């Protein structure tokens, strides 16, 4: 029996060994097969990557050829245009300064006429500007050309409610910055209009310089108005989603991106407006008085328009953005002719933005003071607008004491009826007055003064005309979406 047990044990051991050797052999074969499969896959992937690299190289080569070809085409077009301007219109690099001024006046005389090729006129002015800068002609010739180019872009607007395309607006912004820099670089620089010539008489020179500053202020107002229209036609992402549905469509996202780009443009424009404001203030070639205060007030009002309606926390971000743009003087003015002006403007902005521990209330008050100093024909209406904006800003930031003092001492209610149907003020001023009252009422409500809040808000809300009196919900954009 013991021998049989030993024999069974031996057979069992041999069977276990055979199974073990068999498993190891199978595992080794499987590993070899797996390695072979992995190697084939890596080889195939390498081949695919190599083929993709070759395809991309071919695409890049074709793109480079296309870019080179397009560059050659652009150069050919520029050469053809230069040849056309030289042979047909007498515009070339060898022109004298008097010839440039004469050609500029000739172009200006054709503005607005029927049958005039606007693009050709623009090409002529750009060529003349390039010649003036290359030959370092008188700054008045350059300023006149820049003013004519800006007028050309303003004429491109196709309707009252339409705005310039953003690319055209940016070009216009660039030329406006260069115009401000050219004017700041030389106190004798003027924009020549019609048959105007530079005068040797000091009184006439001051009048011409004053008219030039007024023209620059007009360009600033037009660019600001155009940007406002563009923001009205765009929408932020939440508004776009609301109009298109719960999900963000491609159109909604594109509209939101456009809105964001335009907001960034508004910070740059505000910075340029402040540079112009500083230039008008320190311009010694214009006497102190009505003419100087007029342009200062116009630009200060536009700058207030960027700040007064925002709360303090948002205004701090906006003020910082404007300060960052002011520090990039050459980029802001698209040239380096007025570095001292941009440095002065940046330092002054930093000083104003640090008043009252960085409160925007002090900055808005400083801008309003620029308007209060004006005593010209339009002074009354401009002062009322500045006052109402300052009151709104006080109330919106819970500065009730200052807001109530301003609205009481100024007796503004006697000059602006608190109704859209009233007489004595334009509709925009009446709406601004109603909004100032609403802001004071809401500030009282936030402070817990329910009785005072009711006093200010009852007249607006009692007739169920609140949206009408505050001009809410009647934008052209919402009407177009509804249609």
pLDDT tens for residues 367-391?
A: 999 999 988 778 888 999 999 999 9
Question: Residues 196-226: pLDDT tens digits?
Answer: 777 788 888 888 999 999 999 999 999 999 9
Phi and psi at residue 209, to the nearest 5°: -65, -40
Residue 155 above 50 pLDDT?
yes
Determine the pLDDT at residue 406.
92
Q: Kindly report, residue by residue over 131-147, the tens digit of the pLDDT.
A: 998 888 889 999 999 99
Q: Using the predicted structure, report yes or no on whether residue 424 has a pLDDT greater than 60.
A: no
Q: How far is CA 25 from CA 19, 33, 427, in A?
A: 10, 12, 96
- The pLDDT mean for the chain works out to 81
Instruction: Evaluate if residue 353 carries a pLDDT over 50.
Output: yes
Could you tell me the CA-to-CA distances from 190 to 108, 138, 170, 214 in Å, in that order?
16, 10, 24, 11
Q: How confident is the model at residue 10 (pLDDT cuts 50, 70, 90)?
A: confident
- Cβ neighbours of residue 380 closer than 8 Å, sequence gap 6 or more: 415
Of the two residues 482 and 428, the one the predictor is more confident about is 428
Nearest to 214 by CA among 155, 276, 259: 276
How many angstroms separate the CA atoms of 212 and 204, rounded?
12
> Which of 168-186 are b and which e, b meaning 16 or more Cβ less than 10 Å from the residue's Cβ?
ebebbbbbbbbbbbbbbbe
Least confident of 57-71, 298-312, 339-353: 57-71
DSSP result, 275-329 = HHHHHHHH-TTS-SSHHHHHHHHHHHHHHHHTTTTS-HHHHHHHHHHHHHHHH-H
The torsion of the CA quartet 296, 217, 282, 200, rounded to 10 degrees, works out to -120
Inform me whether the pLDDT recorded for 419 exceeds 50. Answer: no
SS3 383: helix
DSSP one-letter code for 378: T
How many beta carbons lie within 10 A of that of residue 25, not counting itself?
A: 10
- Separation CA 364–CA 386 (nearest Å): 9
């Amino acid at each position: 029996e013991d021998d049989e047990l030993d024999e069974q044990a031996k057979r069992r051991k041999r069977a276990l060994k055979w199974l073990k050797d068999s498993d190891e052999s199978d595992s080794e074969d499987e590993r070899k097969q797996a390695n072979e499969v992995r190697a084939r896959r890596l080889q195939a992937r390498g081949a695919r990557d190599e083929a993709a690299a070759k395809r991309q190289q071919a695409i890049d080569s074709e793109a480079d050829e296309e870019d080179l070809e397009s560059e050659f085409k652009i150069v050919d077009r520029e050469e053809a245009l230069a040849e056309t301007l030289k042979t047909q219109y007498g515009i070339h690099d060898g022109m004298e300064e008097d010839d440039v001024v004469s050609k500029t006046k000739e172009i200006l005389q054709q503005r607005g006429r029927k049958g005039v090729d606007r693009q050709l006129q623009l090409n002529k002015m750009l060529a003349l500007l390039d010649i003036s800068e290359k030959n370092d002609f008188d700054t008045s010739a350059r300023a006149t050309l820049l003013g004519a180019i800006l007028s050309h872009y303003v004429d491109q607007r196709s309707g009252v409610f339409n705005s310039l395309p953003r690319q055209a607006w940016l070009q216009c912004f660039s030329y406006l910055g260069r115009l401000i820099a050219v004017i700041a670089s030389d106190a004798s620089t003027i924009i020549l209009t019609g048959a105007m010539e530079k005068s040797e008489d000091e009184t006439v020179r001051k009048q011409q310089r004053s008219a030039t500053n007024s023209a620059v202020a007009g360009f600033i107002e037009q660019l600001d108005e155009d940007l406002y229209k563009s923001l009205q036609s765009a929408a932020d992402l939440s508004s776009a989603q609301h109009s298109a549905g719960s999900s963000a469509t491609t159109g909604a996202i594109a509209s939101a991106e456009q809105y964001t780009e335009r907001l960034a443009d508004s910070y740059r424009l505000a910075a340029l407006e402040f540079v112009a404001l500083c230039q008008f203030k320190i311009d010694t070639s214009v006497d102190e008085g009505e003419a100087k205060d007029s342009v200062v007030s116009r630009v200060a009002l536009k700058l207030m328009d960027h700040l007064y309606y925002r709360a303090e926390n948002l205004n701090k971000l906006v003020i910082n953005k404007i300060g960052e743009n002011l520090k990039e003087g050459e980029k802001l003015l698209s040239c380096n002719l007025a570095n001292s002006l941009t440095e002065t403007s940046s330092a002054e902005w930093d000083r104003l933005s640090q008043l009252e521990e960085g409160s925007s209330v002090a900055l808005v008050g400083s801008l309003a003071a620029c308007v209060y100093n004006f005593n010209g024909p339009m002074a009354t209406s401009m002062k009322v607008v500045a006052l109402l904006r300052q009151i709104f800003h006080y109330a919106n930031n819970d500065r009730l004491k200052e807001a109530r003092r301003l609205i009481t001492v100024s007796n503004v209610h006697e000059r602006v009826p608190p109704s859209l149907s009233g007489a004595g003020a334009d509709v925009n001023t009446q709406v601004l007055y109603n909004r100032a009252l609403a802001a004071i009422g809401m500030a009282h409500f936030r402070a817990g003064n329910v009785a005072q809040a009711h006093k200010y808000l009852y007249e607006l809300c009692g007739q169920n005309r609140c949206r009408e009196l505050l001009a809410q919900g009647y934008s052209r954009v919402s009407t177009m979406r509804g249609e």
